[in-house]
């Protein structure tokens, strides 16, 4: 089931990026803080998309008849 693996990996990457940018936003001020906050929010959107798609694929695959 390579689709689920790909979307899970994409979700983890986006999650890590979102957390990284959020951490950097807490450590900076001014324009840098604004930029890191914007990037964190942007990556959260990607994170949500990949997580939801991964969950949908997992649900579909879990209902497939295997072995025949």
Average pLDDT, the chain: 91
CA distance 68 to 64: 10
Tell me the average pLDDT across 37-64.
Answer: 92
pLDDT at 51 over 50: yes
- 7-35 pLDDT tens trace: 889 999 999 999 999 999 999 999 999 99
Tokens 């295997």 belong to 66
**CA separation for the pair 9, 66 (Å, rounded):** 24
Note the pTM of the prediction, 2 decimals: 0.79
Q: How many of the other CB atoms lie within 10 Å of CB of 35?
A: 14
pLDDT band for position 1 (cuts 50, 70, 90):
low
Tell me how far apart the alpha carbons of residues 28 and 41 are, in angstroms, rounded to a whole number: 16
Give all strands (DSSP E) within 1-68, no chain letters: none
């Amino acid at each position: 089931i390579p689709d689920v693996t790909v979307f899970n990996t994409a979700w983890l990457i986006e999650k890590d990026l979102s957390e990284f940018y959020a951490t950097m936003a807490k450590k900076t001020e001014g324009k840098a803080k604004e930029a890191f906050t914007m990037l964190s929010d942007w990556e959260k959107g990607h994170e949500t998309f990949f997580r939801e798609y991964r969950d949908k694929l997992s649900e579909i695959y879990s209902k497939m008849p295997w072995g025949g």
